[in-house]
Each structure stands twice: as structure tokens, then as C-alpha cells.
Amino acid sequence: MQSIRKKLPSRNTMLFWGSVFGITGYRFYSKNECKKQMEMIKQKARELADQPMSPQDLPRKVIVIATNQPGEHSLYKTNDYWKKYILPVFTAGALDYELVEIENRSPVVEGEKNEAVGVMEGKVHEYVNNLISNQKRKKIEEFHPELKQQRIAAINNEPVQETAPEPESENWKSKESLVGVDIIAIGRNSFAETINGLSEGLEAPLDLKITKEITTTQNADSEVSDGSSKLELSTTETVQEPIDTEPKLDTESSPEDITDQTTNEITNETTEPKQPEEIVIEYEKYRDLSKDLPVPAVGYLPIYCLTGWRSIPLRMYRYINDIHNTTYYSEQALKIVYENKRKWIKSMDKKIGIEEEKLKGWEEKSAVFVISEDLEDNLVIYDTY
């Protein structure tokens, strides 16, 4: 018996290998259960995708806004969440999407702490505001195409055509601008900024201001050389989603520019400072034409992003056992696919996802909702909470 006992592993060795095999086995079990849960949710989404569509119907499309979560300086965790829990369900449900990645953080100021990075920075707010304003302008351009010509001419430095174009017929009008595209925000912070940007975009002035910076070249006699003026364009408004895809003027240096500069030096010509010129395209007076544009519904997808050293034990546990997250997040994505919508409730919907504010990345800050009364009465959201 003593010889047999000498060949047996020690107590500590048994505990070590028992723990290793136990944790590894549970990890494989959890991974298999997560796969089963995701397949079940995807099967439910496929049932909707397999339903026939009428010839006049268009596939549904949503805009998904992905930003760095509070406390995070990159979109790594958000993209991992999107690819792991949400994208498979959207794909199975044949839901078309446009993923918009926004680094929602301000530049780091030297000597100051930037701990609450990503909390109400305003980048999502600005994007949604521009998106709604551009949709309204595009709607107006369908009835007044001369405004579109003025905008393109101002951006590309081209003369405006004297002949006014005919308004677009009903058959050729943009269906997307008439139907509208819903907006899905990942996280409470993005959700609040989306609501605020939507509220501002619906009431913001529609007149478009384009600033042109003109560089004039003069000779020694202070005479402006008509043929050698160089024009550079820049817009004062950051347009996150342009209305059209016409090419813009390339302002980078070229061999021709270098030749012109050499010629100017030889002929004793000097370049004056840039003289900005502002062009205003008046959309506001046609605002009533965009009133029938539907307000897009807004969806909230929860994400509980753990950050900091103290969250490492919980993150390790979630790596081993991810059944809860897979079930919860995939079910929220399925509600988006099935269009589970409801009216905005003033008394409670500002608290959607308020549990996220308890996470370390928020640094005791909170999301602020600024919504107009008109939007509160007409807003529709996805019932994912």
C-alpha cells in the first residue's frame, strides 16, 4: 500500500488539475449553450426573413451608431459586442443596416484628467442633427431642383446653369427620403445624444452656408491676374452623411500648381491672404415641403461595458460563462428585427438604461435628455428595455 501511495499525486496537485479540468469543461459547456441560444434566436429571425414581400415593398434598413463606451478610448469593445451578439441576428432576419462608427470623445487636454471620456461629448448629437437636416434639404430639392444645382455649383466651383431643371417625377423620387430610416444607438450615452440630435435637427434652420476661401494672385503693380487665381473650398458645416456623392474639389498640390507658383515668382507676382466668401442656399423658406417627412424611430441596445482593473474578475467570469449576455443581448436584437415599437413615454423613458451610469466609466456623470414637446408627442422607440 505504501508503494501505491507514493505513486499517487499529492493533494495540491489533485486540486490544481481538478480546477483546471473543471473550469475548462465548464467553459466548453457555456460556449456550446451560447451557440444553441444564438441559433434559436437566429431561427426566429429567419421566420420573418422568409416571409414574401410585395413588389412595391423595400427592404427595411436601420442606421446603427457605434461609439466608444464611457471610459473607453476606442471602439474595440463596442465592435466586439456588435459582431458577437447583434450582427448575427440582423443578418438572419435580413435586416439591412448601415454601421456608423463615431469616436465620441474630446481631445485630451494636457495637464487635465479625461476620465469620463465618451459621456455626452456631442459627436453623436452632431451626426444625427446633420442627418435629419440633410434629409429635409433633400426632400425640398425634389420639388426645387435648382437648389441642388446651387449646392453642387458652390461645392465644385462651377457656374449655375441658367435653365431651371424640371422637378423630379413621383416615380423617380428618392424612396429612402420619403420612408425614413430608423436609428439604433448602442448604449445609453449614444441613445441620449441621438434623441437630442433628432430634436434639434427637426427644428434647426435649413439654410445651408458654404464658405469659399479665394486666394488671389497680384503682380508688382497690384493688378489681379485673372487667369492665375487659385480657388480653395471648405464648408463651415460638418456633414456626416452627404446628400449626394458628387466629387469635391481636390485642394492638394499638383504639378500644375508648382508650375504656376514658379511662374508667379519669375513675373514678380505675390499671393494675397485668403479672402473668405460665404454663399447661403435658402432652403428655409420651403420648409413646409419637408413636413410630411416621417420622424425616424429610435432604438436602444443595452451594453454593460466593464472597464478598470477592479472589473477583471467579473470579466474573467463572463469569459467562462457568457450564457446570460448571449441570451439577453440577442433577444434585444430580435426585438429590433421584429419591429417591436411603442410611443415615447415622458414619465419613464428618460430612465432607459440608467443602470449603465453606475459603471466606472461614467465617473458619476449622467446622460441629459433635451427633447422638444413636439418630438415627445410624436416619437416612436423600439421596446427593447
Residues 129, 70 within the same domain: yes
Please give the Cα distance from 156 to 232 (Å, whole number): 10
Residues 154, 88 within the same domain: yes
pLDDT in tens, 252-286: 444 444 444 444 444 455 555 556 677 888 888 88
Residues 183, 102 within the same domain: yes
Strand (E) or helix (H) holding 280: strand 275-281
Q: What's the pLDDT score for residue 267?
A: 47
Residues 186, 306 within the same domain: yes
Residue in 301, 338, 343 with CA at minimum distance from that of residue 184? 301
Cell of 240: 456626416
Q: What's the pLDDT score for residue 228?
A: 37
Last residue of a domain, one of 236, 251, 281: 281
pTM of the predicted structure, to 2 decimals: 0.75
Cell of 194: 441621438
Judge whether 30 lies within some domain. yes
Judge whether 296 lies within some domain. yes
Q: What's the pLDDT score for residue 3?
A: 67
Q: CB count, 10 Å around CB of 50?
A: 9
Give the type of residue at 238. Answer: T
Judge whether 242 lies within some domain. yes
Judge whether 3 lies within some domain. no
Q: What's the pLDDT score for residue 63?
A: 95
Q: In terms of DSSP H, where are the helices of 144-222?
A: 145-156, 175-179, 188-203
Residue in 184, 169, 15, 196 with CA at minimum distance from that of residue 87? 184
Residues 158, 87 within the same domain: yes
Q: What's the pLDDT score for residue 284?
A: 85
Q: Residue-wise over 257-283: b if at least 16 C-beta within 10 A, else e?
A: eeebbeebeeeebeeeeeeeeeeebeb
- Residue 11 DSSP SS3: helix
Q: Domain limits at 270? A: 208-281
State the Rg of the chain over Cα: 28
Judge whether 378 lies within some domain. yes
Residue in 126, 141, 127, 124 with CA at minimum distance from that of residue 177? 141
Please give the Cα distance from 330 to 120 (Å, whole number): 26
Judge whether 143 lies within some domain. yes
- Residue 332 DSSP SS3: helix
Residues 95, 198 within the same domain: yes
Query: How is 17-65 classified by DSSP, letter by letter?
Result: HHHHHHHHHHHHHHHHHHHHHHHHHHHHHHHHHTS---TT----EEEEE
Judge whether 320 lies within some domain. yes
Which residue has 410585395 as its cell numbers?
Answer: 54
pLDDT in tens, 147-158: 888 888 877 766
Residues 334, 218 within the same domain: no
Last residue of a domain, one of 281, 309, 329: 281
Q: What's the pLDDT score for residue 162?
A: 54
Q: List the pLDDT tens digit at each of the 385 positions of the chain.
A: 566 666 677 878 888 888 888 888 888 999 999 999 999 999 999 999 888 888 887 788 999 999 998 888 889 999 999 999 999 999 999 999 999 999 887 665 544 555 557 788 889 999 999 999 988 988 888 888 888 888 888 777 666 665 555 555 443 344 444 346 899 999 999 999 999 999 999 988 888 887 766 555 544 444 433 443 333 333 334 344 444 444 443 444 444 444 444 444 444 555 555 566 778 888 888 888 888 888 899 999 999 988 878 888 888 888 888 999 999 999 999 999 999 999 999 889 999 999 998 888 888 788 999 999 989 999 999 998 7
